[in-house]
A and B are shown apart, each in its own frame.
Chain A
Amino acid sequence: MPTDIPADSVGLISPQTATFDEPLPLRSGRTLPSYQLVYETYGTLNADRSNAILICHALSGHHHAAGYHSMDDRKPGWWDACIGPGKVIDTNHYFVVSVNNLGGCHGSTGPTSIDPATGRPYGPDFPIMAVRDWVKSQARLADRLGIERWHAVIGGSLGGMQALRWSIDYPERMRGCAVIAAAPKLSAQNIAFNEVARQAIASDPDFHQGYYMDHDTRPKKGLMLARMLGHITYLSDSAMREKFGRDLRSGTLNFNYDVDFEVESYLRYQGENFSDQFDANTYLLMTKALDYFDPAADHDNDLARCLSQSRCRFLVASFSTDWRFAPDRSEEIVRALVKARRPVSYLEIDAPQGHDAFLFPIPEYVDLIKGFLGSLETGGAA
């Protein structure tokens, strides 16, 4: 609980809701007849509407990126370290927009919302979203907010994929694109991890083929397992070693099958905590959106050709110990952009945190983003 709101915080924030009655055609071939998007904004849109930055969230993220919802909040938004007055994404200067993606479980229309056709929750019948569907819905929100052109679209991990998609689908609507700890598509190993997570959820007896809300229950155990697995892939070997080593929970081996090591206790805690707050169908949907993301597929698998449509400047950043989307994966994007002769800068940041590093205010990372956002104002060079 923040007894005082820190001076560099955006402070108390109220989420907003935008309702759309225009149907949204989806990549799957289905259509979302109407929907609502929940979002937050920080800072002030300037007179010529040129200072707006869109933040795209990752798999388990949401619209609450900075500040507090109430004085009782234990923690601020998920990227509070980087968004606020005087911070990297300086809200004294920029107007920041952060949206909960469709299919999410934090207020935007998703599997827990009521399907107007049936009067019951969508559940597993909510259409599977593709990254391009999210981007389309975000563009409609931009229209609604009067933002013709983003100063930059920024995202880490799955958020980075949305930023990349933006540059392909709406090339004229952004000056800069920051793609952080992402990949141009998932590898077999990435998909494999997602599949294990999905199976963990689907095999929970409380899953009921996704209709668990009709049974007034939730597949908590399965979602917990999925999160535990995911969490391991977000951390590096060295980060886990540093954090837990082989420390024992009770100082001694128990010779039973309960928790012995601190790392087990930590994962269980994280998993349980997550399964209390997150919807299993949303988790399934998000992992599918990840698996399906492959913008080059529409261009004979030629990513360079695909990205040659872009008109913005790119910043690509990776982290040395990230093995979920390793630096090599970011370099695939960079290579394609060079081949397409698009302006791009790339840095592999030396950081011990693994994939999660993108959330931390690592000094050179902070300087990099700050420098990039600033350079977009002066025009910079192609």
Chain B
Amino acid sequence: MRPDLDYIQRWVNPTSRVLDLGCGDGSLLALLRDHKQVSGYGLEIDTGNIVECVRRGVDVIHRDLNNGLDDFDDQSFDTVIMSQSLQQTTKPDRIVEEMLRIGREAIVTFPNFGHWTTRAYLGFRGRMPVSESLPYAWYETPNIHFFTFRDFEVLCHERGIKILERTVVDRNHEANWKIRLLPNLLGEIALYHITR
């Protein structure tokens, strides 16, 4: 099991209704269905991923998240999940607001632009960072909004969003005491469990 999925799974209640934004090949929803009897949909833009979701029996709706989520009713899902895609959307703050309009709770995971290697890359080399968790050159990256854990927490504070739980891990999705001490410097991927 992908370790990040395992973390997310812990925050989802059995038999709840889940909306997975940018659900990829449906791994997470298949896992939640098989282990937690969860129902719901994935939203996905890539045709190959959609076909794979359908093949494995995961309900998926073709959607560009940048076109908004207006047609989903308020509080119509228990949990809205967005895994590793927030930095790829044109209006991440709007997406987070929408996630908490549609769902009672949300789970967001994203890469940390504040990791020390990224800071060092830009600081010393003077070039946009390329790393294992951010593997793209500046001109071809799908990641169009870079932000750090601290940035995200400031946004949550400003918008009155409560952080229920936070897990910060390295690229292997492992946490250790150093990361816990200096998450914004040493953590590579964060998982936030938020609500209003």
A residues at B contact (CB < 8 Å): 313, 315, 334-335, 338-339, 341, 343-350, 364, 367-368, 370-372, 374-375, 378-382
Contacts and interface: CB of A to CB of B under 8 A. Distances in A.
B72 A338 contact: yes
Contacts of A381: 29-30, 33, 39, 57-59
B50 A347 contact: yes
Contacts of B51: 347, 364, 367-368, 371
Nearest to B50: A347
Nearest to B44: A347
Given A335-B71, A338-B41, A344 B59 contact: yes
B56 interface: yes
Contacts of B30: 381
A290 B33 CA distance: 38
Given A338-B41, A372-B54, 16 more contacts: A315-B54, A341-B39, A345-B54, A345-B61, A346-B61, A368-B51, A368-B54, A370-B55, A371-B52, A371-B55, A375-B55, A378-B57, A380-B57, A381-B39, A381-B58, A382-B39
A331 to B, nearest CB: 8
Contact of A350 (B29, B39, B47): B47
Contact of B61 (A344, A368, A380): A344
A343 B71 CA distance: 16
Interface in B55-80: 55-62, 71-73
B100 interface: no
Contacts of A368: 50-51, 54
B47 to A, nearest CB: 5
Interface of B: 17, 29-30, 33, 39, 41, 47-48, 50-62, 71-73
Contacts of B71: 335, 338
Contacts of A339: 73
A345 B55 contact: no
24 contacts: A338-B41, A338-B71, A338-B72, A339-B73, A341-B17, A344-B41, A345-B59, A347-B47, A347-B50, A347-B51, A347-B54, A347-B62, A348-B62, A364-B47, A364-B48, A367-B51, A367-B55, A371-B52, A371-B55, A375-B55, A375-B56, A380-B56, A380-B57, A381-B57
A349 B54 CA distance: 14
Nearest to B41: A338
B57 A375 contact: yes
Given A364-B47, A381-B29, A381-B30, A334 B61 contact: yes
Nearest to B30: A381
A372 B39 CA distance: 17
Contacts of B62: 346-348
B72 A345 contact: no
Nearest to B47: A364
Contacts of A375: 54-57
Residue with the greatest number of chain B CB neighbours at <10 A, chosen from A338, A344, A381: A381
A316 to B, nearest CB: 9
B57 A379 contact: yes
A28 to B, nearest CB: 35
Sort A-B residue pairs by CB-CB distance and give the 7 closest, nearest first. A380-B57, A371-B55, A375-B57, A381-B33, A371-B54, A346-B61, A367-B51
A374 B56 CA distance: 9
A294 B72 CA distance: 23
A345 B53 contact: yes
A349 B51 CA distance: 11
A375 B58 CA distance: 9
Contacts of A349: 47
A277 B73 CA distance: 49
A345 B73 contact: no
Contacts of A347: 47, 50-51, 54, 62
B36 to A, nearest CB: 11
Contacts of A371: 51-52, 54-55
A368 B39 CA distance: 21
Nearest to B38: A381
B23 to A, nearest CB: 11
A345 B53 CA distance: 9
Contacts of B60: 345-346
A335 B76 CA distance: 13
A315 B73 CA distance: 21
B54 A343 contact: no
Contacts of A378: 57
A378 B33 CA distance: 13
Nearest to A304: B73
Contacts of A315: 54
A250 to B, nearest CB: 43
A296 B60 CA distance: 24
A367 B56 CA distance: 12
B59 to A, nearest CB: 5
A147 B119 CA distance: 66
Nearest to A375: B57
